[in-house]
Structure 1
């Protein structure tokens, strides 16, 4: 029974991590480096401390008193940012309560079933890992949707500017005409501008909420026009064309790599399918794998090897555009 529990735990984490490694998004990946990010950081240094303080105060107003205390801890602050990136409505305190309750219940069940201590520890942390993976998937999906909507939003901004309206009004039009998440983000930026915030500050706050390469390109165009002048309509038209070409190329890469990713799924999951088939054909032979300590060792080494191989395949097919 103990060996079976360990085997199931190893199987669970293997499928979980491997599935995350092989799920390749078309877009929606957070931008971490690059010339655009450096340029925005330089612009952020020019924003006065008073404006940043007002923005921080505006950010804290949306939290409960308990959350304001929690975000003082860096780990909880990062978790709060992740919830915002994923567009999740659940509060930080409620999420922590649910995950803690699930972990305790899982641990109690494991102890009642007399599992080994390492199995109980793995089961205790399983809800945490599942929640983290779920939030990451929500972030990737939301940012991917945002990037798909951005070129159309730029077209709306361009038409409003060509009609002689200010960029504030263009943000309002995007917020009213486009669905979430991009409509919500532009509405928030419009509200900040109405409160009297500096354009650079409002744009950088928007980048912080949706840190994608596409958003960095848009923010750079707006901030550059704000600081040096120029034709913003023409710049946004060029950015829109580049973003559409980038997304088209990303789609093509995903299509070309589909065969490799399918082969990866088959190679990774075939050992588990073979073991299940063996359980029906020859249960005595299959039981040796989980009853003999050498079998558990072989399973552990195999799962680690599969995970390394899956992440290595992801590195190969995940071409940054």
Structure 2
């Protein structure tokens, strides 16, 4: 019974990790390699202490007292940021309490069924891994949708500026006309500007909530115009054309890599399909794989090899644009 349970758990995690590794988000990825962080730090250095204090105060304002205490720990601060990026309507405290309760419940049920201790521990941490994977999926989906909406948003801002209105009014128009997630983000930024926040401060706050390469390009254009002057409408028009060209290239890469991704799925899932086929043709022969200790060892090594191969395949086909 313990060997079969271990096999099922290993199979579950194998399919979970492999499916995540082979997903290819062509857009909506967070800006990496420190580029965004470097730009933000350079822009924040130009803000005075009072503005930085307002930025930090605004971030803490909507938190509960419990959240304000636990975000002092780096791992919980990162988790709080992930929840914000995902757009989930749940507080960090509720997420932690629900996940802890679910993991304890699953672990206790496994223990009551007489499973081995390492299986109970694996199921306990498995719940946390599932929650983390779901949040990451929500982040990718939300940021991808945000980037897809940004070129149309820039067109709205250009029209408002060409009509002689201010950038504040342009942000208001975007908040009213565009759907979520970009509409709510620009609405928040407009509210900050209405409260008297500096434009750079409000833009930095929005970039922190949506850290994508496209948002970095937009914020750089606005902040550059704020600091050095120039024609913001013309700059936004150039940014819009670049973003549309980037999406066009991303979709072309996705199309060209479709065959490779399909081949990857076939190669990865074929061992599981072959095992199911053997179970139908010769059940006694297939049962040896999950009852014999050598079979469990072979399965474990095979699953680890598949996971490494899936990550390697993703590394090859995940072309950055």
Secondary structure at the aligned position of 2:72 is classed as coil
Structure 1 position 315 matched with structure 2 position 306: no
> Is the contact between residue 44 and residue 52 of structure 2 (CA under 8 Å) also seen in structure 1?
no
TM-score with structure 2 setting the length: 0.97
Aligned to 1:266: 266
Q: Tell me the residue number matched to 2:38.
A: 38
Q: Does 1:232 align with 2:232?
A: yes
Root-mean-square deviation over aligned CA pairs: 1.2
Cα distance in structure 1, aligned partners of 2:309 and 2:224: 44
Deviations 1:224-245 (A, max 9, x none): 1111111000000000000000
Shift of the alpha carbon at 1:37? 5.2
Deviation at 1:266, TM superposition (A): 1.0
Identify the residue that residue 123 of structure 2 maps to in structure 1. Answer: 123
Query: SS where residue 211 of structure 2 aligns?
Result: coil
Q: Which runs of 4+ in 1 moved over 4 A?
A: 34-37
Tell me the residue number matched to 2:202. Answer: 202
Using the alignment, how far apart are the partners of 1:126 and 1:40 within structure 2? 35
Tell whether the 8 Å contact from 2:36 to 2:211 is kept in structure 1 after alignment: no
> How far apart are the structure 2 equivalents of 1:176 and 1:119?
51
Q: Which residue of 1 aligns with 2:137?
A: 137
Deviation at 1:97, TM superposition (A): 1.2
Cα distance per residue 1:194-248 (max 9 Å; x no partner) = 1111111111111110000000000000011111111000000000000000011
1:21-40 Cα distance to aligned partner (Å, 9 max, x none): 11111200000236665334
Q: Does 1:281 pair with 2:300?
A: no
My pick for the range that moved more, 257-266 or 129-138, is: 257-266
Residues 134 and 280 (structure 1 numbering): CA distance in 2 closer, same or farther, change over 3 Å?
Answer: same
- Corresponding residue for residue 25 of structure 1: 25
List runs of 5+ in structure 1 lacking aligned partners.
Answer: none
CA distance in 2, matches of 1:229, 1:33: 29
